[in-house]
Homo-oligomer: A and B are copies of this chain.
């Protein structure tokens, strides 16, 4: 593991560099499939489902029968776990509802702001060996609270033409309105253009491999919004001698098992803690089934010693971690001072995996430094803010002159006229 002591600020940007990937090759493939799905609809979807998923389907939509069957397949203890998680996610996201903001800015000038649901939402859930049903919860629950009308979920079928039952169970539980057995680029293209089977949506959410990531980027060029730009998952822990080294090691490893490109950083004002965590990692690593993956990510991880909390905070804000665990004697200093982070986990008993599954916070978070300028998924991600205004005669008399002067100064005479005409009518009525 890489230990770095007291790095000088001029080395931070290199030290904190994330692995970058080139997507040029992928882009061509993605564009071709988009063109084909736009032109041929389900025919193209069928072609690529056969090519990439190795299966031919007569019907892409999951039937109520299939859902019922899936429900029967899920162990009760998993059902209960999912229900507990759902309940917490619901509570936290429902609390994010905001009232209409109403204000009379000048007498007779009433303005208000309101959030209304994005009507058509698409969720992408990857397939494969690890069925990400937790992501179904994280996306469908707030979409439902927001009042989105259509919530479409696409996930690739396996060789037998099925979607993992845990995904179906969660989707059904959380109010997804249509579940489709379509994966990869063809799913994103389908939700972008609409096909005979796949509804066109206004915003696409969810994780995916590089192909899905590039496809989501491309979708934005066709007027579809996406949750946020993607990148490899990452965790930064700041810890001192008040932290339990075994806990810190377990958190770093839980991040590391996501993929070989996962980013794992420990920042500490204690060299002892760094050494202790390093030892614990070796012990715990050997016991992991995904050891091969975690080992590679850990090899690229960095354990950074700095002199004091102020320097640590500055460095952390420069990085802007997706997940940020604070376990120090100065927790409040970090809580108050953190400017850029996706989700923050505080204290010895708050592992990142709590937020990944069941505490109630969302696990779809900005990575790759995007915590500097993007929010994690939250209730507002499923709404858009609209403004309204209603001005009385008195109101336009109060602000009309200012509008006329400003419009004239900007050279927009017709803007001025729209006010002048109204003011004149009010004068004439007198």
Contact = CB atoms under 8 A, between A and B. Distances in A.
Interface string A218-231: 00100111000100
5 contacts: A105-B359, A130-B411, A257-B415, A287-B417, A357-B402
This protein's copies in its complex: 2
A347 to B, nearest CB: 5
A421 interface: yes
Given A339-B119, A388-B344, A254 B412 contact: yes
A5 to B, nearest CB: 27
CB-based closest 10 A-B pairs: A105-B360, A88-B105, A81-B402, A375-B385, A351-B418, A225-B373, A353-B415, A250-B418, A81-B405, A202-B373
B225 A374 contact: yes
A257 B405 CA distance: 17
A186 B324 CA distance: 35
Given A355-B389, A375-B385, A411-B130, A223 B406 contact: no
B393 A387 contact: no
A288 B202 CA distance: 39
Nearest to A395: B349
Q: Interface centre among A91, A98, A366, A413, by most B CB within 10 Å?
A: A413
B354 A419 contact: yes
B109 A103 contact: no
B250 A357 contact: no
Interface string A104-122: 0110010101001111100
Interface string A327-370: 00000000100111111111111111111111111100010111
A410 interface: yes
Contact of A402 (B85, B130, B343): B85
A376 B372 contact: no
A407 B357 contact: yes
